[in-house]
Amino acid sequence: MLSQVEELLLHQETQAQQRSKAIVIEMKLRLWRLQPHDTQLLVEARHWMDTAGLTAEDPFNRA
């Protein structure tokens, strides 16, 4: 059984991993917007979203 501290650390690590994946997805989507004819970029972004457990409704970094 995990202690509260271990659970908190695990939760923070999971959130950090999801943020990192969201940043990669955002970069791939931005590249695709610059090169909309390159469907492979969109396929890769979709793959990253699926593996990260993210959907189009999830907030992405807009900076």
The answer to whether residue 35 sits within a structural domain is yes
The letter for the amino acid at 9 is L
Domain count, the chain: 1
Q: What is the pLDDT of residue 25?
A: 80
The answer to whether residue 15 sits within a structural domain is yes
Higher pLDDT, 61 or 43: 43
- The closest alpha carbon to 51, from 9, 22, 12, belongs to 22
The answer to whether residue 16 sits within a structural domain is yes
The answer to whether residue 30 sits within a structural domain is yes
pLDDT tops 50 at residue 63: no
The predicted model scores a pTM of 0.56
The answer to whether residue 4 sits within a structural domain is no
Domain that holds residue 22: 10-52
Q: Which pLDDT tens digit goes with each residue over 9-43?
A: 888 888 888 788 878 888 878 888 888 888 888 88
The answer to whether residue 57 sits within a structural domain is no
Q: How far apart are CA 14 and CA 32, in angstroms?
A: 27
Cβ neighbours of residue 58 under 8 Å, at least 6 residues apart? Answer: 22
The answer to whether residue 1 sits within a structural domain is no
